[in-house]
Copies of this chain bind each other. A is one copy, B any other.
């Protein structure tokens, strides 16, 4: 069954970028996979489509001329026109549920990777995140772009794994199954 997944690095105090979109605190020493950690390439192997907000798209695009997501369809949630030099990128809009359904369809039976603070938060609020894979960096930034935000109700997960990834620790949590009636 195709899943909605989050794969992201965060500081211990829950930021995905420091002030002014600073990413200099992200370690570059992460070996692809150590003692069971899920490396980015292995993660992407099961991903059929990505969903990200416009801001995340623009930050990703500005970081490097190279495109990290290969042929994977990338849906960018935006209400404005989007011109991209990447042929696999397209603009989408609608409710979070509709966006996720569109992404699942685009994924053709494989998983959807939700990226960026805003989209992750909206997917969590909608109760649609099946897997949270957070790679914790041992730094406190004290400010920046938060990974998490307010929720109308608690979201419960279960830890499936924890593993080292270079100097980081990856926490792998899956959505807690609903209580049996």
Chain A residues in contact with chain B, CB under 8 A? 12-14, 18, 25, 124, 132, 134, 136, 138-143, 147-159, 162-164, 167-169, 171, 173, 176
Picked from B143, B155, B158, B162, the residue with its CB within 8 Å of the CB of A142 is B155
A157 to B155, CA, bound (A): 28
A142 adjacent to B153 (CB under 8 Å)? yes
A155: B residues at CB distance < 8 A:
139-140, 142
Minimum C-beta distance from A154 to chain B (A) = 6
A12: B residues at CB distance < 8 A:
132, 134, 148, 157, 171, 173
A151: B residues at CB distance < 8 A:
140-143
Picked from B153, B156, B171, the residue with its CB within 8 Å of the CB of A136 is B171
**26 examples of A-B residue contacts, CB within 8 angstroms:** A12-B132, A12-B157, A12-B171, A12-B173, A13-B14, A13-B147, A13-B148, A14-B14, A14-B148, A18-B154, A136-B171, A138-B156, A138-B157, A138-B159, A138-B173, A139-B157, A140-B154, A142-B153, A142-B154, A142-B155, A143-B151, A158-B167, A159-B164, A159-B169, A162-B163, A162-B169
Q: Determine the residue in chain B with the shortest Cβ distance to A174.
A: B138
B159 adjacent to A162 (CB under 8 Å)? no
Minimum C-beta distance from A127 to chain B (A) = 11
A60 to B71, CA, bound (A): 54
B148 adjacent to A159 (CB under 8 Å)? no
A150 to B155, CA, bound (A): 25
Most buried by B among A140, A153, A164, A169: A140
